[in-house]
Amino acid sequence: MIKCAVFDADGTLIDSMGIWLEADREYLSSKGRELDPATYGKFNKLTFAQSISYVKKHYGLTDTEEQITADILKIVGKKYENDVMAKDGVKELLQRLADNGVKLAVATANDKELVSLALKKNGLLGYFSGIVTCDETNCGKDDAAVFLHTAETLGCEPSETLVVEDSEQYVKAAREAGFFAVHIDEIGKLGVGRRGVIVGAADIGRYDIIKEYLKDDDCFIYCDAGLKHEKALGREADIIVGDFDSTENPNRETETIVLPHVKDDTDTVFAVKEAMRRGFSELLLVGVIGGRIDHTLGNIAILNMLHTAGCHGMIVDDHSEIEIVSDKPAYVSDKFPYFSLLNITGTCRGVTVKNALYPLDDAELTTDFPLGISNEPLNGKTAIVTVKEGRALLVRVRY
| Integer Rg of the chain from CA | 27
| pLDDT given for residue 190 in this prediction | 79
Least-confidence region, from 9-13, 39-43, 103-107, 253-257 = 39-43
Strands, E assignment, 130-243: 131-133, 161-165, 180-183, 195-199, 219-223, 239-242
Tell me which architecture the domain covering 1-190 has in CATH.
3-Layer(aba) Sandwich (3.40)
d(CA 175, CA 148) in angstroms, rounded, equals 11
Residue 78's contacts (CB-CB under 8 Å, 6 or more residues apart) are none
Q: Residues spanned by CATH 2.60.120.320 within the chain?
A: 323-397
Rounded average pLDDT over 41-49: 74
Which residues in 135-168 are b (16+ Cβ under 10 Å) and which e?
bbbebbbeebbbbbbbbebbebebebbbbbbbbe
Q: Residues spanned by CATH 3.40.50.1000 within the chain?
A: 1-190
- Residues 114-149 pLDDT 10s: 899 899 999 999 999 999 998 888 877 878 899 999
Residue 22's contacts (CB-CB under 8 Å, 6 or more residues apart) are 79
Residue % of the chain over a pLDDT of 70 = 99
d(CA 256, CA 382) in angstroms, rounded, equals 42
Q: Which CATH superfamily is domain 195-318 in?
A: Thiamin pyrophosphokinase, catalytic domain (3.40.50.10240)
Residue % of the chain over a pLDDT of 90 = 65
- For residues 376 and 246, the model is more confident at 376
CB 158 within 8 A of CB 49: no
Q: Residues spanned by CATH 3.40.50.10240 within the chain?
A: 195-318
pLDDT category at 39 given cuts 50, 70, 90 is confident
| pLDDT given for residue 125 in this prediction | 96
Range of 167-171, 188-192, 376-380 with top mean pLDDT: 376-380
d(CA 203, CA 379) in angstroms, rounded, equals 32
pLDDT category at 110 given cuts 50, 70, 90 is confident
Is a pLDDT exceeding 70 seen at residue 40? no
Is a pLDDT exceeding 70 seen at residue 289? yes
For the domain spanning 323-397, the CATH number is 2.60.120.320
